[in-house]
Amino acid sequence: MSLGGDLDMSTSPQVRKVLLPIFRKNVSHIIVDLKDVPYIDSSGIATFVESLQLSRKTQIRFSLAGACPKVESIFDLAHLKTIFEMAPDAGELIGGEQSR
């Protein structure tokens, strides 16, 4: 799943509406590509935390890729960078299995 634009209070409900139902499908790995997301606020982070919790319940691997330095720093400030599986590029997650 690729996202574009700011992920904030006005857009995170739409992202949640699209992302969360994917966990009910027969998939083994969900990758959210953030390369075109210049900004994320707490509501965007909350959407991903909810997704991570759901991934643990459903045993579906959940990863974030391509976060720009500004977005990555927000995960770092929130002490979430080590909680989420994150990669600089979605291809790294698709090409080979990374450890959780």
pLDDT of residue 93: 86
Tokens of residue 13, six digits: 């409900």
> Residue 61's beta-bridge partner residues?
29
* DSSP label of 25: S
Q: What is the pLDDT along the chain (100 residues), one digit of tens a residue?
A: 999 999 999 999 999 999 999 999 989 999 999 999 999 999 999 999 999 999 999 999 999 999 999 999 999 998 998 999 999 998 888 865 544 4
Does pTM top 0.85 for this prediction?
yes
Check: CATH 3.90.1720.10 for 2-94? no
**In angstroms, how far is CA 62 from the centroid of its own chain?**
7
